[in-house]
Amino acid sequence: MKLFILNVMILATILASVSCSPGPQGPANDDIVSPPGGITYRANVHQQGERDWPPVKQTKVTLQVLGGTIDIEYRDYIETRAGQTRNNIIFLSGRNAPDLLDPLKITYRPEGRPPVNHPEGITIARDGEMYGGIGGRDKKSSRVILVIHIDSRIKRGEYPFEIQLEYEGKIFGSLPVTVKVK
C-alpha cells in the first residue's frame, strides 16, 4: 500500500510540474512546457489520454568556439499565420567546448538578410533560459527560448533572418531562420 501511495504522489508531482504556456491563439504544438528534465515543446510531451501534437521539426548544427565545438538544436523554419506567436527553443550542448565556456553568457541577436535588422512586422524576444539536464546539473548546456511574434498586419510570404551567436564580444556563428506567414 505504501508503494502505491508513493507512486501516486510521484505521478501527481510530475503532472503538477508540467506547465503549459499557450499563446493568445490557443494551445499549439510549440507551446513551452516544463516537465521533469527541462523546458521543451508541448509536442515533445506525451500524456496518457491526451492526443499527441504534430512534432516540432528541429535542425542540428555544430559550431566552433574557443577551440572546441558546440552542438545546437533549433527551429530553422517556422510556418504560422499573421497575428500569432511562435516559440523557438535553442538547445546548446557545449560538452566538447573548453571549460571556460559559459553557455548562459552567449548572446542571441536576430539580424535580417537584408536589411541589418530583423524583418519588419516580426518581433523577437528572449524569454527565459536555464542550464540543461535534470535539475540543471549540466553546466555545459543551456536552453534559451526565443519568442517570435508575427504582427497581424504582416503580408503572406517568407521572412528570412539570422540569429547571431556572440560570446565575449565576438560573433562565432549564426543560425539561419525563415518564418513563413500563410
Q: Using a pLDDT cut of 90, give the percent of the chain over it.
A: 36
pTM for this model (two decimals): 0.77
pLDDT of residue 24: 55
Domains, the chain, ordered by start: 2-181 (2.60.40.10)
Q: Which of 7-11, 118-122, 159-163 has the lowest mean pLDDT?
A: 7-11
Which cell numbers in the block locate residue 163?
540569429
More confident residue, 98 or 88: 88
Q: Identify the CA nearest to 160 among candidates 140, 133, 180, 141.
A: 180
pLDDT of residue 113: 52
In Å, what is the CA distance from 95 to each residue of 32, 58, 102, 137, 139?
25, 20, 11, 13, 9
In Å, what is the CA distance from 73 to each residue of 15, 39, 161, 166?
26, 14, 17, 17
pLDDT, tens digit, for every residue of 32-65?
988 887 889 999 988 888 888 999 999 999 998 8
